[in-house]
């Protein structure tokens, strides 16, 4: 393998991915910079749009070997790469990774970027401009195990003074230039100092020195002459040292025989040579000069507005009356009026003022216009929403021109609503918990405080995505508003609502927070949730959460049941259908007003009023307030009758005698005339 090294230093502005932008935006909150750690190379050629999560056809990925931060919005990265054995390729796409996240992509749809051979090492060096991101949000993570030579190259390029052994202008000035002592010799020509490398010369007030340097006459004593050589151009500054403290300056060109010929000394204005307070400010307008025209005298002429009388003039103390404009009296009022005037004053010559119809005007330019023309074609401007997607918009590449542009080529950096957007920005509304009706139709992305939104699931903040499919304000005819919450605990939450009320938060279960393998399905038991009839022979139960066993329900003692067909045994039920129950004989010693009973043909208990009951028979009774019912009134089955005939009840039906009563007091023998029979109907 050859050890040839090819260096590719470049400054690029890659396309930031959505994940990269979000990571950088969160840096001011988290305090942790995004660290670019790897560079990937692939063969794809396209125009990135920021939605990429990986390269189209990645061939290799290498760790960053050197580089660092150049400025708050610029980083530099260095890496060494060699194509896979037997697979040289033209690189058309480069990806910059922060760990496993694709941070930025650089690619061109029309040409490759560089070539990787499988027999030589290629060294790449890129400076990335990241002006769209917050300052100091991105850094470089250098792998210490990668080639040390790359790291040395990166350190060399970013060093403030990588070659201290070389002679620079600053080092030369400090090492070789010197100050000469004050010159008082009249024969000294300070112009020759330009060729000796002397920068600062103290000059005494000697007429010969002043003449040689052409310093201004009248200088007051000692001063300092400073010469600055800037290549072919030179500047000299002379500062007086004693009384006046004036400063003089001149410039020259070293290519001339006399560098300063034609460039006299100029006095620099300062507090000692110029007092702005001694000057009167200029008028902010060009005044009218009065009384100096042809045939005009020096009288004082005064012009002013007289309310109700128009514009008037006074000469000295004589009232000259109101001004007259044009061929008739016209009142000119300078104030803004609305609407379109039917006539305007104008003229084709300076002295010819006439009334014109503005509808006939051709205006070359206007701040506001209803329509504009392009040759013979007129375009009308209308203020109103036409709806739908327009095919053309007005736009410009500069502030002084405008042209029609097709909307197919436009990219919008930010829009309140949009059909397609590369990036949807997240807003910082951490302190607000908007109600469903506070967000109209559309999707919204926000950063929220956990406390404000009532979503306490790790950290202090969470990301919220709100979607309302239809409606504004209290109009929820299109359905509820919906909201997702993304927390620092790697959970996703959901809630919905309408009006002013949200539902409670519900957590989405995923492989990061729920493991179905940790749950027990039962050894050899199929668990199914469906209704079953009959009485089961066994039930699952236990005395502790982790102790599940099989129980025979015939051994259960049920303390409470909403409904039951029967119970073999029951200890005591405190309540039945919410009503307290107790087992005590005549607890209050009173006659019950309501009775719990079951009607024939039914299988539920009901409560009955005792005053509405009819008793068919009673073995014994203490008393009866009233005897009623069909047995006593209509000879129904079970009823009784009394008559004198002991052989027949004398009514229809099957009857049986139940006893006789004799009137022994009458002295009878018990015959038919002295006894009474008691009959009961049995069928």
The stretches of 381-482 forming alpha helices (DSSP H) are 450-453
Mean of per-residue pLDDT scores for the chain: 77
CB 462, CB 479: distance < 8 Å: no
Report whether pLDDT(102) > 90: yes
Please tell me the distance from the alpha carbon of residue 146 to that of residue 153, in angstroms, as a whole number.
13
**Domain edge (last residue) among 463, 488, 507:** 507
Residue 200 and residue 122 share a domain:
no
Letter string b/e over residues 172-192, b meaning 16 or more CB atoms within 10 A of that residue's CB: eeeeeeeebeebeeeebebbe
In a domain, 269, yes or no: yes
Residue 139 and residue 20 share a domain:
yes
In a domain, 58, yes or no: yes
Position 285 scores a pLDDT of: 84
Residue 148 and residue 239 share a domain:
no
In a domain, 401, yes or no: no
Residue 117 and residue 31 share a domain:
yes
Residue 232 and residue 102 share a domain:
no
pLDDT band at 263 (very low <50, low <70, confident <90, very high): confident
The whole-model pTM stands at 0.28
Edge-first strand order for the sheet with 655-662 is 640-643, 675-681, 655-662
Position 93 scores a pLDDT of: 95
- Point out which residues pair with 93 in neighbouring strands: 42, 107
Rg (CA), the chain: 55
Residue 65 and residue 183 share a domain:
no
In a domain, 116, yes or no: yes
Residue-wise pLDDT for 504-530, tens only, equals 999 999 888 888 877 766 555 666 667
* CA-to-CA dists, residue 171 to 166, 176, 177, 227, 230, angstroms: 9, 8, 10, 18, 15
In a domain, 503, yes or no: yes
Residue 80: which domain range? Answer: 5-158
**Domain edge (last residue) among 240, 275, 310:** 275
Residue-wise pLDDT for 342-384, tens only, equals 888 788 777 677 778 887 777 666 666 666 666 556 666 666 6
Report whether pLDDT(476) > 50: yes
Task: Over range 578-602, report the average pLDDT.
Answer: 75
**Domain edge (last residue) among 275, 302, 337:** 275
In a domain, 281, yes or no: no
Q: Let me know how long the chain is.
A: 683
Residue 119 and residue 182 share a domain:
no
Position 177 scores a pLDDT of: 45
Residue 230 and residue 138 share a domain:
no
pLDDT band at 452 (very low <50, low <70, confident <90, very high): very high
Residue 576 and residue 626 share a domain:
no
pLDDT band at 83 (very low <50, low <70, confident <90, very high): confident
pLDDT band at 553 (very low <50, low <70, confident <90, very high): confident
Residue 90 and residue 56 share a domain:
yes
In a domain, 607, yes or no: no
Residue 48 and residue 154 share a domain:
yes
How many structural domains comprise the chain?
Answer: 5
In a domain, 679, yes or no: yes
Residue 231 and residue 99 share a domain:
no
Letter string b/e over residues 611-649, b meaning 16 or more CB atoms within 10 A of that residue's CB: eeeeeeeeeeeeeeeeeeeebeeebeeebebeeeebeeb
Give the CB-side neighbour count of residue 433, counting CA atoms within 13 A.
15
């Amino acid at each position: 393998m050859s050890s040839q090294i090819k260096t590719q230093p470049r400054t690029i502005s890659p396309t930031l991915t959505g994940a990269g932008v979000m990571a950088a935006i969160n840096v001011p909150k988290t305090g942790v910079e995004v660290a670019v750690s790897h560079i990937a190379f692939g063969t794809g050629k396209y125009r990135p749009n920021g939605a990429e999560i990986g390269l189209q056809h990645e061939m290799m990925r290498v760790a960053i070997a050197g580089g660092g931060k150049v400025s708050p919005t610029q980083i530099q990265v260095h890496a060494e790469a060699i194509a896979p054995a037997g697979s040289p390729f033209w690189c058309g796409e480069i990806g910059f990774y922060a760990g496993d996240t694709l941070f930025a992509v650089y690619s061109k749809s029309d040409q490759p970027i560089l070539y990787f051979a499988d027999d030589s090492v290629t060294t790449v060096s890129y400076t990335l401009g990241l002006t769209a991101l917050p300052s100091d949000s991105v850094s470089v993570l250098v792998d210490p195990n990668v080639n040390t030579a790359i790291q040395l190259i990166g350190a060399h390029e970013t060093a403030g003074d990588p070659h201290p052994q070389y002679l620079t202008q600053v080092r030369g000035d400090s090492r070789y230039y010197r100050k000469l002592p004050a010159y008082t010799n009249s024969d000294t020509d300070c112009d020759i100092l330009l060729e000796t490398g002397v920068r600062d010369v103290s000059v005494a007030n000697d007429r010969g020195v002043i003449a040689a340097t052409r310093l201004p006459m009248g200088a007051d004593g000692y001063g300092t002459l400073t010469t600055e050589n800037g290549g072919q151009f030179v500047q000299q500054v002379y500062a007086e040292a004693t009384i006046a403290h004036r400063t003089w300056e001149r410039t020259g060109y070293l290519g001339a025989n006399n560098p300063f010929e034609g460039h006299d000394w100029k006095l620099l204005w300062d507090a000692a040579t110029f007092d702005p307070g001694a000057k009167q400010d200029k008028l902010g307008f060009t005044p009218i000069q009065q009384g100096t025209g042809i045939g005009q005298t020096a009288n004082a002429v005064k012009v002013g507005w007289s309310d109700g009388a128009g514009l008037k003039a006074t000469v000295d103390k004589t009232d000259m009356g109101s001004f007259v404009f044009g061929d008739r009296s016209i009142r000119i009022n300078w104030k803004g009026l609305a609407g379109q005037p039917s006539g305007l004053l104008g003229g084709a010559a300076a002295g010819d003022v006439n009334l014109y119809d503005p509808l006939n005007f051709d205006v070359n330019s206007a701040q506001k216009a209803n329509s504009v023309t392009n040759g013979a074609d007129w375009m009308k401007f209308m203020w109103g929403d036409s709806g739908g997607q327009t095919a053309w918009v007005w736009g410009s590449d500069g502030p002084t021109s405008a042209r029609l542009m097709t909307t197919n080529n436009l990219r919008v950096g930010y829009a309140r609503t949009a059909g397609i957007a590369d990036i949807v920005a997240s807003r910082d509304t951490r302190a607000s918990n908007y109600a469903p009706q506070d967000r109209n139709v559309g999707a919204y992305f926000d950063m929220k405080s956990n406390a404000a939104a009532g979503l306490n699931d790790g950290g202090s903040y969470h990301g919220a995505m709100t979607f309302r499919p239809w409606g504004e304000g209290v109009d929820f005819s299109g359905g509820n508003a919906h909201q997702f919450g993304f927390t620092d605990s790697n959970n996703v939450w959901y809630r919905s609502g309408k009006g002013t009320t949200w539902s409670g938060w519900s957590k989405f279960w995923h492989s990061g927070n729920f493991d179905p393998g940790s749950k027990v399905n039962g050894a050899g038991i199929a668990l199914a949730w469906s209704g079953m009839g009959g009485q089961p022979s066994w039930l699952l139960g236990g005395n502790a959460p982790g102790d599940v066993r099989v129980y025979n329900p015939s051994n259960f003692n049920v303390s409470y049941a909403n409904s039951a067909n029967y119970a073999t045994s029951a200890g005591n039920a405190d309540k039945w259908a919410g009503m307290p129950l107790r087992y005590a004989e005549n607890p209050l010693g009173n006659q019950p007003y309501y009775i719990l009973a079951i009607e024939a043909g039914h299988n539920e208990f009901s409560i009955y009023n005792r005053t509405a009951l009819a008793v068919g028979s009673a073995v014994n009774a203490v008393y009866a307030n009233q005897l009623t019912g069909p047995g006593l009134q209509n000879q129904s089955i079970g009823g009784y009758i009394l008559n004198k005939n002991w052989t027949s009840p004398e009514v229809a039906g099957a009857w049986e005698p139940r006893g006789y009563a004799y009137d022994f007091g009458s002295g009878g023998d018990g015959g038919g005339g002295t006894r009474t029979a008691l009959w009961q109907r049995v069928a």
